[in-house]
Amino acid sequence: MANIIGGLAVSHTPTIGFAVDHDKRNDPAWAPIFEGFEPMRVWLEEKKPDVLFYIFNDHVTSFFFDHYAAFSLGIDQRYEVADEGGGPRDLPAIEGHAALSRHIGASLMADEFDMAFFQDKPLDHGVFSPLSALLPYRGGWPVQIVPLQVGVLQFPIPSARRCFKLGQALRRAIESYPEDLKVAVIATGGLSHQVHGERCGFNNPEWDAEFVDLIVDDPQRLTEIRLAEYAALGGLEAAEVVMWLIMRGALSANVKKLHQSYYLPSMTGIATLILENGVRETRSSTDIHARQRDKIDEQLAGLDGLEGTYPFDHARSLKSYRLNRFLHRLIDPAWRQRFIEAPEALFDETKLNSEERSLLANRDWRGLIHYGAIFFLLEKLGAVIGVSNLHIYAAMRGQSLEDFQKTRRQQVLYSVAGKVQDRNRS
Ligand code: FE
């Protein structure tokens, strides 16, 4: 069984990554950052977690306002370092534990948290700033991560109470994962700061100290504080501290505080915190975890046996992402023109493998579905090459168009091509 060995909390200001990259370890203005991080670094080195469940917010780098979600869980197997304006930091990409992500995602959904899921997105300083001060990374990171992006920049954002409840569901999710894994939950963000407007530069070290006390001893009290009150007490951008409640919700009530530090060098109160999980197993623990797994399976149990049916789940989505990405780009007129004129060049450019190339080149509709293409991208391909939806349906069934049409009440042809004439219509 997976178990949560502890919870860590840490600020994610870019200052930290800057101090690491410019080796400010012995500079008196920066040294306290490293001192505060040292016990966390040592704890991670000693405990050797297999996975970090990493709670952060993106800073309008990979998550923009064209589609902004409250809780976005990473389901990828690898996360690159984002470019935030001056080129990405010189850090290696970090591996994701995709199987654990899938389990956690399914469990949170079963517990009625309507999650968003992401892949193919580089992660910004919300992840890599503290991480680079906590773990050795030359030659590769020693852990895998499951990242959770919390949308705290565009209001309305999740309340402290909602975050705490998500944390409680996260505990059920992680503890019911059948494989033996040591998981540490790390929350980032805060403490007091405001970085916009005339109130920019606001700090409140007294509130920061109280907040850390409460998160250790009485997190329930923190769930009663409204977002406007968090903003008044710590600065608007510091309302991101609600992310710490996700971590705290995932731990037992009886945590043990092993370390705490605070340093306010410039704009943001930089805090670190280590909480050891005091989880108690009971004779019914196994049942609790098995019950959660049953709950996860409940909605989709039996779907596997449905013949000729291929549910588009996270495993399928991850496996066939490159192919689906390729097909999705057909909504761009320039891309589809290039596809019509010289598909091989695009196959090379997008590094499609030989199986993917031949599936596309042969218009192997059934093979494409088996491989993991989603139908709604196949109908786009159909629109581009002048093939109707009905042709695709017939091909997937292994029938001629004529035979398939006999099974329909009306023999009509259509596609999603908006303006381009369907060549099969005439
Ligand atoms: Fe932030």
Rounded Cα gap, residues 207 and 416, in angstroms: 57
Q: What three-state secondary structure class fits 374? A: coil
**CA 109 vs CA 165, 170, 188, 189, 290: distances in Å:** 13, 11, 23, 25, 17
Quick check: is 256 in a domain? yes
Which pLDDT score is estimated for 286?
80
Distance 59 CA to ligand 1 centre (A): 6
- In a shared domain, residues 91 and 160: yes
219 and 362 both lie in a single domain = no
Q: What is the pLDDT of residues 234-257, one digit of tens each?
A: 999 999 999 999 999 999 999 999
Cα separations (Å) of 333 from 19, 225, 328, 376? 45, 50, 12, 17
Residues 112 and 192 in one domain: yes
CA of 226 to the centre of ligand 1 (A): 19
Count of domains in the chain? 2
Centre of ligand 1 from the C-alpha of residue 158, in Å: 15
Q: Is 16 part of a structural domain of the chain?
A: yes
Tally DSSP H helices, then E strands, for the chain. 19, 10
Claim to verify: residue 219 and residue 348 sit in the same structural domain: no
Tell me, yes or no, if 103 is annotated catalytic: no
Catalytic residue status for 125: yes
**In-domain check, residue 36:** yes
Domain membership flag for residue 415: no
Do residues 124 and 57 share a domain?
yes
Question: Domain boundary at 239, 266, 297, which?
Answer: 297
The tens digit of pLDDT for each residue in 154-173 reads 999 999 999 999 999 999 99
pTM of model > 0.85: yes
Interval between CA 268 and ligand 1 midpoint (Å): 10
Q: How far is the CA of 22 from the centre of ligand 1 (A)?
A: 21
Q: Are residues 251 and 327 in the same domain?
A: no
Q: Annotated catalytic residue: which of 12, 193, 314, 391? A: 193
71 lies in a domain? yes
Residue 212 binned pLDDT confidence (cut-offs 50, 70, 90) = very high
**Using 50, 70 and 90 to split pLDDT, how confident is the model at 419?**
confident
Among 125, 314, 328, 370, the one annotated catalytic: 125
State the distance from the centre of ligand 1 to the C-alpha of 70, rounded, in angstroms.
14
**pLDDT tens, 23-51?**
998 999 999 999 999 999 999 999 999 99
99 C-alpha vs ligand 1 centroid, how far in Å?
27
Instruction: Give the CATH number for residue 401.
Output: 1.10.700.10
Is cis: bond before 258, omega within 30 of 0?
no
Query: Does 177 map to a domain?
Result: yes
Residue 425 has pLDDT above 60, yes or no: no
For residue 112, give the CATH number of its domain.
Answer: 3.40.830.10
